[in-house]
Chains A and B, each alone.
Chain A
Amino acid sequence: MKILVCISNVPDTTSKINFAADNKEFDKNGVQFVINPWDEYALTRAIELKEAKGGSVTVINVGEADTEPNIRKALAIGADDAIRVNAHPKDAFFVAQQIAAVAKENNYDIILMGKESIDYNGSQVHNMVGELLSIPSVVPAFKLDMVDDTTARLEREIEGGKEVVEVKLPFVASAQQPMSEPRIPNMRGIMTARTKPLQVVEPTGAEAKSAYVNYSKPEKKGGVKMIDAENAGELITLLRNEAKVL
């Protein structure tokens, strides 16, 4: 079974977010980048399936050279090889087209990625890739098992419940908790990752369909009003009469 896992390179969850160039660009200064946490669920599940059934796990990232440390980290966690599409990820549609172009050449059985990226929070790429390849996308899945060599069984979250879906290979799925328990690379993984193949390919001529023109930050809160624990009931009155939310 050939599995493709899409990873995005995002600011660590604890990062302070700032903008540069007159609020036109994200300021990378002092920001530590990590594999998107949702993608880690996808990556680990892919590796588990490979360990159980054989096959290979390829990771793909659409990004410039500065994403390579995290691609190597994915290799250290257990992916076999990697592809970097050498381009700035302009928008979800652009990224989806790059992934679809690579997937068309390689006939993957399963294409997995996180439910969303924690930087642009788009939740679009998985469905777009499925649509571009005319294969199903099961989104957002929290359980993925193979029924037999050609069929997978997934559980996905719907608002207020869950659905069980069976789907024939090939398909796209997005991952969320508790699909797997993300792994930390071990020493041996880190050593072997250095020599695993990381292929750099140039992007297709695809265009973006949206343009990020400006960034801003939420207004600061006015400060917290403290209520004495002895008179805790007073809070309910304030929520009704002052905040008007009850």
Chain B
Amino acid sequence: MSVLVFVEGLNGEIKKSSLEAASYGNQVAKALGTSATAVAIGDVKEEALTQLGAQGISKVLFDGEQRLKQFVADAYVKVIAAAVQKEDAKVVVFSNSNIGASVGAKLAVRLNASLATNVTTLPKTEGAGFTVTRGVFSGKAFADVALTSDIKIVAIKKNSFDISSEGTGAATVESFSAGLTDADFALLPKETVMQDTSGGVLLQEAEVVVSGGRGLKGPENWHLIEDLAKELGAATACSKPVSDMDWRPHHEHVGQTGTTISPNLYIAVGISGAIQHLAGVNSSKVIVVINKDSEAPFFKAADYGIVGDAFEVVPKLIEAAKALDK
């Protein structure tokens, strides 16, 4: 038996969340007295994959088929299922990304496996059991779930596990094919449009997020958020009314009905802190709130707070951030 980790790429590099998954997989393998192998698909270079050695992965199965650079669920599932079989994997680790959660669910059906998404702990494996903790009720609680099938699939919450660098040596990359046919690519996207990630920071993967709410008064003031984000190497986000009014695109909207994030640092500017907003950001490690109303509910969930006018406070933060040595 072994542990298999699914590795996603973006622009040729391994996604940060996949490095977390690799580190997690290696730890699970050690606890079970076995080793972890990775399977990689998509937009990632072979050289990048060899670096998974640092996360304790010695072998990477890589299907370099061109069409896999785009996400085609059926093709992905087929490749991963074949890798599970080849490696006799009993635990499969994904990042809880759009792709990871999608493929994980299909794979669970195909392999008759148990699945837990949004996982926040390593498994407890005493007495041949396998219990993980997962985030539930939109960040308001955790649940311990026992996975009862022979094969267990976990999709781990982003930014919840450290990336280890204890491994030595490069991982060997083996080319791997599951015999994909045209039929597996029936759902190849007609068109893929990537956002302008000139800042280079993907919201779901970001360690620092600067977010603006209705308190910023209008889209013309967003340079405050963007400039601060730029200085801090952060991604930008917003509250729901801000995207509803089209001040910002919908994919930036965080909260109960938007994206859920868990960065190391979340800076909320002019956001009141409604419970539905908190649901999407409450597992951020450090929360900073800037609001002119000292009674704003967000302060109750904050680690640091400034009561003041965003239009005066944020420029001071940008100045201070510029002075940091990077």
Contacts and interface: CB of A to CB of B under 8 A. Distances in A.
Contact of B288 (A211, A218, A239): A239
Contacts of B115: 92-93, 124, 209-210
A239 B70 contact: no
Query: Which 9 pairs show the lowest CB-CB distances between chains A and B?
Result: A229-B308, A233-B320, A127-B105, A161-B194, A236-B320, A232-B316, A163-B189, A131-B109, A164-B191
A224 B306 CA distance: 10
13 contacts: A11-B137, A93-B108, A93-B115, A120-B143, A121-B117, A122-B118, A124-B105, A158-B192, A161-B195, A209-B113, A210-B114, A217-B141, A236-B320
B2 interface: no
Contacts of B116: 210
Nearest to B118: A121
Interface stretch (A66-74, A80-88, A132-140, A194-202): A132-140
Contacts of A239: 265, 286, 288, 304
Given A121-B135, A166-B190, A226-B307, A218 B142 contact: yes
Nearest to B234: A246
B181 interface: no
Q: Assign chain B's interface to a size class.
A: 35 or more
Contacts of A136: 73-74, 186-187
Contacts of A127: 73, 101-102, 105-106, 109
Contacts of A124: 101, 104-105, 108, 115, 117
Interface in A97-151: 118-128, 130-132, 136-140, 142
B232 interface: yes
A136 to B, nearest CB: 5
Interface in A162-205: 162-167, 176-178
Interface stretch (B51-59, B171-179, B253-261): B253-261
Instruction: Name the residue among A93, A130, A163 with the largest chain B CB count within 10 angstroms.
Output: A163
Nearest to B137: A17
B264 A37 contact: no
A contact patch SS = mixed
A216 interface: yes
A180 to B, nearest CB: 13
A118 B138 contact: yes
Given A159-B202, A212-B145, A227-B305, A128 B106 contact: yes
Contact of A160 (B118, B197, B307, B309): B197
B192 A163 contact: yes
A37 B142 contact: no
Nearest to A19: B141
A98 B194 CA distance: 37
A19 to B, nearest CB: 7
B250 A209 contact: no
Contacts of B197: 160
A13 interface: yes
Q: Assign chain A's interface to a size class.
A: 35 or more
Contacts of A214: 143-144
B259 to A, nearest CB: 9
Interface in B249-287: 250-251, 253, 256-258, 260, 264-265, 275-276, 279, 282-283, 285-287
Contacts of A211: 145-146, 148
Contact of A118 (B137, B302, B304): B137
A243 B134 CA distance: 26
Contacts of A165: 187, 189-190
Interface in B122-155: 131, 133-149
Given A161-B192, A165-B190, A119 B137 contact: yes
A243 B118 contact: no
A211 B140 CA distance: 20
A193 B92 CA distance: 45
A97 B257 CA distance: 26
A238 interface: yes
Interface in B174-222: 186-187, 189-195, 197, 202, 204-205, 207-208
A213 B146 contact: yes
B312 A229 contact: yes
B71 A160 contact: no
B250 A224 contact: no
A121 B265 contact: no
A39 to B, nearest CB: 11
B303 interface: yes
A210 B114 CA distance: 6
B319 interface: yes
A93 B189 CA distance: 27
A37 B324 contact: no
Nearest to B204: A159
B110 interface: yes
B300 interface: yes
Nearest to B202: A160
Contact of A163 (B71, B133, B301): B71
B46 to A, nearest CB: 22
Given A157-B251, A161-B195, A215-B141, A224 B117 contact: no
